[in-house]
């Protein structure tokens, strides 16, 4: 895969202060979770100036409807390395633009798992972010059934949570916990 993510921790900034802190870290890839639509273009430019590859959670950008048109805007104006979303149409649009596509799945029960697996067959994202990321057997099952690399996210609170997710087969772990950013 040309856009392979080779980073066990993917730090996720929820605030502009956290985003600024990430500019000074050794992490190549970072995630922008929350921002206003007017902020994303300058933030993308800032990330590139610091040599960072930005992954944007399209569903969490205030003022941006997460659809194919939003994907066009992000790809042309912000130029992120990739997109995280729950929406099939945005995954397909990101793939057409050559961006890393990360489909976020909320696994709350067996029906959600089955529906998600069907969804993944249609969209074939580059990565799947599994939430909650603290259930090793689900990471193993999805990896085995889809052959799509897994990113674990949600409720990752300790170094042990990170280690368990990675041992279960996750390629990376997303976390907004600053104390885990320093433990890469």
Note whether residue 3 is domain-resident: no
Q: How far apart are the first and last CA of the chain?
A: 23
Q: What is the pLDDT of residues 110-130, one digit of tens each?
A: 999 999 999 999 999 999 999
Note whether residue 4 is domain-resident: no
Owning domain of residue 123 = 9-179
Note whether residue 17 is domain-resident: yes
Check if the beta carbon of residue 5 is closer than 8 Å to that of residue 177.
no
Check if the beta carbon of residue 120 is closer than 8 Å to that of residue 143.
no
Note whether residue 145 is domain-resident: yes
Note whether residue 1 is domain-resident: no
Note whether residue 88 is domain-resident: yes
Structurally, the chain folds into a number of domains equal to 1
Question: What predicted TM-score, i.e. pTM, was given to this entire model?
Answer: 0.96
Mean pLDDT of 56-75: 95
Q: What is the pLDDT of residues 21-57, one digit of tens each?
A: 999 999 999 999 999 999 999 999 999 999 999 999 9
Note whether residue 184 is domain-resident: no
Note whether residue 81 is domain-resident: yes
Whichever domain contains 161, its CATH number is: 3.20.20.70
Q: Please list, in sequence order, all residues whose beta carbon lies within 8 angstroms of the beta carbon of residue 33, skipping any fewer than 6 positions away.
A: 12, 13, 14, 57, 60, 176
């Amino acid at each position: 895969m040309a856009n392979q993510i080779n980073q066990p921790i993917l730090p996720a900034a929820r605030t502009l202060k956290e985003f600024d802190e990430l500019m000074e870290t050794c992490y190549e890839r970072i995630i922008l979770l929350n921002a206003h639509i007017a902020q994303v273009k300058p933030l993308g430019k800032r990330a590139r100036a610091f040599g960072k590859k930005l992954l944007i959670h399209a569903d969490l950008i205030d003022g941006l409807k997460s659809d194919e048109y939003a994907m066009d805007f992000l790809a042309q104006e912000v130029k992120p390395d990739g997109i995280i979303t729950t929406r099939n149409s945005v995954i397909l649009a990101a793939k057409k633009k050559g961006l890393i596509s990360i489909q976020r799945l909320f696994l709350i029960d067996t029906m959600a798992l089955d529906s998600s697996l069907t969804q993944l067959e249609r969209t074939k994202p580059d990565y799947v972010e599994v939430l909650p990321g603290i259930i090793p057997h689900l990471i193993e099952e999805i990896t085995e059934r889809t052959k799509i690399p897994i990113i674990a996210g949600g409720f990752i609170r300790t170094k042990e949570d990170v280690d368990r997710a990675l041992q279960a087969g996750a390629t990376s772990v997303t976390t907004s916990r600053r104390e885990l950013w320093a433990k890469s």
